[in-house]
Structure 1
Amino acid sequence: MSEAGHDLHALFPDHGPALHALKLGSSNFRQLADEHHDLQSRIQRVEAGLAAVADDQLEDLKKRRLFTLDEIAALIAIEEEA
């Protein structure tokens, strides 16, 4: 999970304390972070030519990645309101 955590810190650089608290206290956050990491890795492999998928499958992966980021952003907002 450390790679996923670092990736999210790069995407949400101003929210380090919230990310840390969520990583420690939220299994939902950890699941979303792992899913985001997996999706990001798969997308990078396709875009680098190391894996092949149909264009519509790649678009689906990208949509799922954006959905996970939206969910993570919502959890960050909730954590920061607390």
Structure 2
Amino acid sequence: MQTLSIPYSYDLLVTSGQSLKALEQELQFLLAVKLFELRRLSLGKAAESCHMSKISFMYELGRFQIPVINLDDDQIQDELK
């Protein structure tokens, strides 16, 4: 797996009120969520990228009110018919 380095100011760490490790895990999770929303990563790959199980990732998506399934997708619409 490749590594990405993202610079951020110390202020972000302080204002988050989190430990360095917790903040980095949150940022990694938020990146995975956004890439999932943009359909750049599948559910499984997004969960894997932030070291979570699919079920845990789906649960967290629900807490953020992010749909796991896009019902506007043409393929799903065909299957529903």
Could you tell me the TM-score, scaled by structure 2's length?
A: 0.39
Relative contact order higher in (CA < 8 Å, ≥ 6 apart): 1
Q: Which has the larger radius of gyration?
A: 2
Task: Give the structure with the larger helix fraction.
Answer: 1
